[in-house]
Amino acid sequence: MGGREQNYVNEAFETNWIAPLGPNVNAFEKSIREELGESVHVAALSSGTAAIHLGLELLGVGKGDEVICQSFTFSASANPISYLGAEPIFVDSETETWNISPVLLRKAIETRIKDGKKPKAIIAVHLYGMPYKITEIRAVADEFQIPVLEDSAEALGSSFQNIPCGTFGDIGILSFNGNKIITTSGGGALVSKNRSYTERAIFLATQARDDAPHYQHSNIGYNYRMSNVLAGIGRGQMEVLKDRVNSRRANHQYYRESLNQIEEIEFLKEPDGYFSNRWLSCILTPSYEIRERLRLALLDENVESRPLWKPLHLQPVFKASQHFVDGTSESLFERGLCLPSGSNLTSEELERVVTTIKNVLS
């Protein structure tokens, strides 16, 4: 916590404004809009997953439709596709950003159109805070007239050519889960330059209640709105977002400078024009065996590390889903490791991590 969160939470208690909606929700949405640019509109929701669910529904995804989704990501990126009765089509990553490959995206779209099934939407993810190839993905999406849902759950504070992530898709989503760069403990947001999308999202997120003096519903709704208390936490967190980004980037820089002489370790670089919040600092090793040696050695020192995301096309729950892959994400999963990356890590803790890695690979 940054320190100011308690003031906003106390304000919610003192005014007895606890339930969803309220001054903190409005102010939190305003602070997100100020961060992303005044051209966007924001709906604060209960989670990033809820935002993806509503985003897909707003884009017209329904039962029997197909949605292209980046395979190298957390399952929450794809689960809402199944909520709507649609089918995910997984696409592999490229090596420059570890995000969805424009080449394989085109192949997937052309193949599905040839088979008589044009995908309804594309879910592209800014993995670990690194922006995906925005120009190339947008070009493919526009060519085939398929909307993009931009999963920016891990990328608040990241940018491409000085434009904030979360603003490039037809709809963008943010997450404020406990592990994100700022948190409301649980929460998310749907973002769009199209006001009708956010207005519709708010309507659906508040149980789709019709404008009537009694409770009347013409649409299926959801209980997805953020509470006034959690939004108070979010207001305080937004005030320290830049500090959190600086801390994460400092962690990454420390790891790079401390480990750059070790041949077995590789870091993901920022391409020109890309700015990553470095939500997590990740390394690549030459093999699964070396990755596991490092992970277990760190665990012996009571330091948690974790493999990179297991691709969704390898997950048991999605084993029957179609996928267009070339082995990139499988290799990243086998060789990659997420190092401790918290914003409050001390220099002594960072040194413990580095020393353990050096001892293993020396």
Residue whose structure tokens are 């995301």: 309
Tens digits of residue pLDDT in 183-224? 999 999 999 999 999 999 999 999 999 999 999 999 999 999
CA distance 152 to 282: 18
CA distance 150 to 167: 8
* Contact of 290 with 322, CB cutoff 8 Å: no
* Contact of 256 with 303, CB cutoff 8 Å: no
Residue 234, judged by CB atoms within 10 A of its CB (0-12, 13-18, 19+), counts as: buried
CA distance 147 to 56: 10
CA distance 32 to 41: 9
Q: Which amino acid is at 139?
A: A
Mean pLDDT computed over 63-92: 98
| pLDDT at position 164 over 90 | yes
Tens digits of residue pLDDT in 328-351? 999 999 999 999 999 999 999 999
Give the DSSP H or E segment for 324: strand 322-324
Q: Which amino acid is at 348?
A: E
Tokens of 214: 């009694």
Contacts of 101 (CB under 8 A, 6+ apart): 91, 92, 93, 94, 326, 328
Per-residue pLDDT at 38:
87
Q: Give the rounded percent of residues in the chain with a pLDDT score beyond 70.
A: 100
pTM score over 0.85: yes
The stretches of the chain forming alpha helices (DSSP H) are 5-14, 23-36, 48-58, 79-83, 102-114, 134-144, 195-205, 228-238, 241-259, 288-300, 328-335, 347-361
Kindly write down the DSSP assignment for every residue of 157-198, as one continuous string. Answer: T-EETTEETTSSSSEEEEE--TTSSS--SS-EEEEES-HHHH
Tokens of 259: 């480990």
For residue 321, give the nearest of 168, 54, 35, 108 by alpha carbon: 108
Tens digits of residue pLDDT in 224-253? 999 999 999 999 999 999 999 999 999 999
Render the burial of 11-24: b for 16+ CB within 10 Å, e for the rest.
bbeeeebeebbbbb
Confidence of residue 18 (pLDDT cuts 50, 70, 90): confident
Tens digits of residue pLDDT in 282-311? 999 999 999 999 999 999 999 999 999 999
For residue 329, give the nearest of 135, 97, 174 by alpha carbon: 97
Q: What letter does residue 318 receive in the DSSP assignment? A: G
CA distance 130 to 271: 10
| pLDDT at position 133 over 80 | yes
